[in-house]
């Protein structure tokens, strides 16, 4: 039996991943046991063998997780972009120091085992590791020049993952997720939250706030696609990655105006009328420093696949969360 740990298993993507693993297994292997770790879990959430309540800011919790020697670890937990920017200490504690401690404990457990313990670790990084000036499409060899604390924290974690992989301590894969939309539930503190809000709220008959200009272009993938990325990464031959274990995931590049047109196609003018423009300089500044389009050649060559277009992203949300 393979033992699987999802750090951040109470969050939206973690729950969706756990649900899919419970149905399909991992790489066709249904003989798996899934453990979730998070600060809290939704009522009636995804099935799991165990749900551990804890915090990454408590390093003793990290020590206990690593000491349990899971075969596959999905590391999804993070302080999101907006909160990382507004709370420097919290962002660097959880996204920075806690992740570095996690890596050091993995090295220790590997060493104590005499080199026998080599887990697969899939880490969710972010396109925020890139900063301007941007080419029309960001290639796989684009230098990491983050312009936010969140991006800097994710870049540091990527370097730790590269080092763990280089040393043979873990089978390391870092996947740089596009902004994941449309997220169900309530808005979070991410600066990108409005990308989901301007679709989700109108589809639910509620008003949505748009804090940026409609000309803003960004890189997106659905929650359904994100789970597909994670599962594919867990089965990937890491020898194909060489020394760079980080991959920019495929996605859909579109403007806010194009997002709104996809909403209109799915739900009509009445839904679009629920979007209220309310400029926010802080969010505009953060989003203005983000990547807009990618050429994810490495990921595509390795078999990663995303949504066909933004219409498909909206349809996925309706099918997964609004259809009985």
- Of 184, 294, 190, 178, the C-alpha closest to 226 is 178
Contact 144, 134 (CB under 8 A): no
- Of 72, 77, 38, 235, the C-alpha closest to 157 is 77
Phi-psi region of 109 (alpha: psi -120 to 50; beta: other; left: phi over 0): alpha
Angstrom distance (rounded) from CA 136 to CA 297: 15
Contacts of 164 (CB under 8 A, 6+ apart): 103, 106, 107, 121, 170, 172
Options 41, 150, 317, 321, the catalytic residue:
150
Residue 209 corresponds to which tokens in the numbers above? 């706030």
- Of 165, 179, 167, 147, the C-alpha closest to 292 is 179
The residue written with tokens 């870092």 in the block is 174
The residue written with tokens 């959880």 in the block is 94
Contact 265, 191 (CB under 8 A): no
Q: Is 321 tagged catalytic?
A: no
Supply the residues annotated as catalytic: 150
């Amino acid at each position: 039996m393979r033992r699987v740990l999802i750090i951040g298993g109470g969050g939206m993507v973690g729950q969706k991943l756990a649900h899919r693993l419970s149905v399909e297994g991992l790489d066709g292997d249904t003989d798996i046991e899934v453990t979730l770790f998070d600060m809290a879990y939704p009522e009636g959430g995804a099935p799991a063998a165990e749900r551990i309540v804890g915090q990454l800011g408590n390093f003793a919790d990290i020590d206990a997780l690593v000491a349990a020697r899971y075969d596959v670890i999905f590391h999804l937990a993070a302080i999101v972009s907006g909160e990382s920017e507004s709370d420097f200490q919290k962002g660097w504690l959880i996204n920075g120091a806690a992740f570095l401690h996690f890596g050091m404990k993995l090295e220790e457990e590997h060493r104590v085992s005499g080199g026998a313990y080599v887990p697969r670790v899939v880490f969710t990084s972010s396109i925020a590791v890139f900063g301007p000036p941007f080419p029309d499409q960001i290639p796989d060899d684009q230098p990491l020049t983050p312009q936010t604390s969140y991006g800097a924290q994710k870049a540091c974690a990527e370097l730790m993952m590269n080092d763990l992989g280089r040393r043979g301590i873990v089978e390391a894969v870092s996947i740089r997720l596009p902004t994941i939309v449309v997220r169900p539930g309530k808005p979070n503190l991410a600066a990108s939250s409005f990308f989901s809000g301007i679709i989700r709220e109108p589809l639910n008959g509620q008003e949505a706030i748009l804090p940026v200009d409609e000309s803003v272009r960004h890189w997106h993938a659905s929650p359904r696609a994100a789970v597909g990325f994670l599962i594919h990464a867990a089965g990937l031959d890491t020898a194909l990655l060489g020394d760079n274990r980080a991959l920019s995931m495929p996605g859909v590049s579109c403007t806010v105006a194009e997002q709104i047109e996809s909403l209109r196609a799915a739900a009509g003018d009445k839904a679009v009328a629920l979007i209220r423009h309310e400029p926010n300089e802080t969010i505009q500044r953060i989003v203005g420093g983000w990547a807009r389009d990618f050429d994810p050649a490495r990921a595509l060559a390795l078999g990663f696949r995303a949504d066909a277009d933004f219409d498909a992203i909206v349809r996925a949300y309706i099918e997964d969360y609004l259809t009985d």
